């Protein structure tokens, strides 16, 4: 069983960087001030046409109150939409020095109408600035772009890149083709050129694919687990398509996809590379080396082995410099900074995971 809280080691008083905070709009029309009249009209009349069968709803039931922490609902609007509550309940209470915003819906990543997707992307980026980052300098926006329209994505990235309010580029890890495909390379090229990491957060929408590799699951518990296997598919594609060989300075963050699987995946990929390397001669080094150099992992929802020390051993394989703390506030599977790690960490390890790795990666002052 999991180890209860009394064995927890506290990250007492350490200022932290939270690499996964979900903002929300009170209502979709909050985006209207940032959209041209043509797209306001489109949104009102037609709404979204998403990369999934059942437009406008998630494909599976969600835990708790629509997937949200029950105590995070403000008086008006959904959790994450009230900056004052976010400050009081999370940023102040948990010593958050910087929080990375992860806006997933209505940013165009899942929209099939690419012109509308571009309008949504631009609007959601403006909205993040006006609603959250300008009033709260601890927060950093992500440049949300539709990965299926690389040409627009590059323009939006270049438009935002000089603004330090934005710390990374956000695209879906469940792209229409596996993400290493060349149609997405202009985005990676722009990311490398602008020195911005690519943030890949597990998606409520699975890009028109079944959410597990063996089909649609029956239960939320099955789907939640599939977030980790989906991330493995994505990172495998990035490695074998040669993305890290072509873009040697590219940095990728896998957000909310777990990390305990990474050593085993690397061992297996290295083994296959030793035998079948000639199929992909552009992959000139063992796959694990690319992952070690280019990939960062966020912690939440952290794996909780019966013997907490086993997790420390897994992190040794991944590297203490590649793991970044995250809470997922205000979602139901939130990890609390004082209870996330149930084994003793050195001060140096704590500083890296809770703060310094993210500060270095995201170039935070």
Contacts to another protein by CB under 8 A:
1-2, 4-6, 8, 63-64, 69-71, 332-336, 338-339
Instruction: Kindly calculate the radius of gyration of the chain based on its CA atoms and give it in whole angstroms.
Output: 20
Nearer to another protein, 69 or 201 (CB): 69
Whether 88 and 242 have beta carbons less than 8 Å apart is answered as no
DSSP-assigned states of every residue in 293-325:
HHEEEE-SSPP--SSTHHHHHHHHHH-TTSEE-
Closest CA to 142 of 207, 201, 182, 184: 201
Nearer to another protein, 64 or 66 (CB): 64
CB of 69 to another protein, least distance (A): 6
Q: How far apart are CA 15 and CA 82, in angstroms?
A: 22
CB of 332 to another protein, least distance (A): 7
Nearer to another protein, 25 or 341 (CB): 341
CB of 333 to another protein, least distance (A): 6
Whether 14 and 350 have beta carbons less than 8 Å apart is answered as yes
CB of 339 to another protein, least distance (A): 4
Q: How far apart are CA 254 and CA 201, in angstroms?
A: 6
Nearer to another protein, 75 or 274 (CB): 75
Nearer to another protein, 4 or 53 (CB): 4
DSSP-based three-state secondary structure for 200: strand
CB of 27 to another protein, least distance (A): 24
Q: How far apart are CA 350 and CA 259, in angstroms?
A: 17
């Amino acid at each position: 069983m999991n180890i209860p809280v009394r064995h927890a080691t506290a990250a007492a008083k350490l200022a932290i960087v939270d690499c996964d905070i979900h903002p929300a709009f009170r209502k979709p029309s909050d985006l209207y001030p940032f959209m041209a009249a043509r797209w306001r009209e489109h949104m009102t009349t037609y709404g979204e046409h998403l990369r999934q069968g059942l437009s406008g709803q998630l494909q599976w039931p969600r835990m708790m109150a629509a997937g949200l922490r029950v105590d995070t609902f403000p008086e008006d609007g959904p959790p994450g939409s009230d900056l004052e509550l976010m400050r009081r309940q999370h940023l102040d209470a948990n010593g958050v020095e910087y929080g990375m915003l992860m806006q997933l819906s209505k940013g165009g990543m899942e929209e099939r109408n690419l012109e509308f997707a571009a309008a949504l992307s631009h609007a959601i980026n403006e909205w993040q600035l006006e609603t959250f980052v300008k009033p709260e300098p601890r927060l950093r926006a992500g440049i949300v772009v539709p990965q299926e329209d690389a040409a627009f994505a590059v323009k939006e990235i270049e438009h935002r890149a000089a603004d330090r309010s934005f710390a990374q580029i956000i695209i879906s890890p469940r792209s229409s083709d596996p993400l290493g495909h060349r149609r997405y390379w202009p985005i990676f090229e722009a990311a490398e050129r602008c020195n911005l990491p690519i943030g890949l957060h597990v998606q409520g929408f699975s890009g028109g694919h079944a959410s597990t590799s063996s089909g649609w699951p029956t239960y939320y518990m099955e789907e939640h687990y599939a977030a980790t296997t989906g991330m493995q598919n994505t990172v495998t594609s990035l490695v074998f398509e040669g993305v890290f060989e072509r873009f040697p300075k590219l940095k990728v963050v896998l957000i909310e996809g777990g990390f305990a699987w990474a050593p085993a995946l690397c061992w297996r990929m290295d083994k296959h590379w030793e035998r079948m390397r000639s199929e992909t001669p552009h992959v000139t080094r063992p796959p694990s080396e690319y992952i070690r150099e280019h990939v960062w992992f966020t912690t939440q929802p952290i794996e909780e082995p019966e013997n907490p020390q086993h997790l420390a051993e897994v992190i040794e394989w991944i590297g203490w410099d590649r793991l970044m703390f995250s809470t997922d506030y205000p979602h139901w599977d939130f990890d609390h900074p004082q209870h996330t790690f149930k084994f003793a960490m050195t001060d140096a390890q704590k500083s890296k995971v809770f703060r310094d790795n993210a500060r270095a990666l995201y170039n935070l002052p």
